[in-house]
Amino acid sequence: MHLTALLPVLALAITTLSAPLETRHEGPEEYYSLGCPTNTTKPYASQYEQTEVLNTFANEVFVQQQVALGYDTYAAVDFINHAPEVSANGIAIVIPFQTAELKGGSVDLQRVFVGTNLTGTSFGTIHFRGNSVAEGEGDIAGIWRMIGTCLVEYWDVAAGVEASENPIAYF
C-alpha cells in the first residue's frame, strides 16, 4: 500500500483521536427533579467541596449512625438506588433500612474520595470495614453519583471478610 493511500485513513484517525470526548454535565434539571435539598446542597461544586460533603456524610451516616441527618442533609429525596438489598429508590426507603442495619454495629472508614469519569460525571466512593450484628464483618464500597454536592445515585459492592493468605486482604 502506498503512503498516499494511507493519508486519508491517518487523517481520519488523527481527527477522531484529537476530538474532545463528549462531556455529560448533569445540572439543575436533574438536581431539582430528584429533590436535592437546596438549603444544604448546591448543583455545582468543586471536587474539594464534593469530597468534604461525602466525608461528612460518611461520618454522619456510618460512623455516628445519624442516618436520617446524613441523608436529609446531602441526598436527593428520590435518589436512584441500585443496592440489591434495598427494595426501592429514595431516602424514605433507605433511612429505616440502613438505621436497622447499622444498629449495634460499627464502621471503620478506610477511604473517601471523589473524582470524575471521562464524560465529566462526578462519583464519590466510600470504602469501609463494617461490623454488623446481623451480617458480621464486611468489606463494603459504596459508589455515589453526585450533582454538585448532592448525592443522587448509589451502587454498592460488599463481601464478608474471611480468612485469607494475603495479610492485607480487604483493607
Domain range list for the chain: 24-160
What per-residue confidence (pLDDT) applies to 159?
86
- Domain 24-160 coded CATH 3.10.450.50: yes
The string of pLDDT tens digits covering residues 72-127 is 999 999 999 999 888 899 999 999 999 999 999 999 999 999 999 999 999 999 99
pLDDT at 151: 98
Q: What is the pLDDT of residues 37-67, one digit of tens each?
A: 999 999 999 999 999 999 999 999 999 999 9
CA distance 91 to 107: 20
- pTM comes to 0.81
H and E: helices and strands count for the chain? 5, 5
User: What average pLDDT does the segment 13-18 reach?
Assistant: 41
- Cα gap 96→170, rounded to integer Å: 28
For CA atoms 47, 52, 57, 63, give the dihedral sign: positive
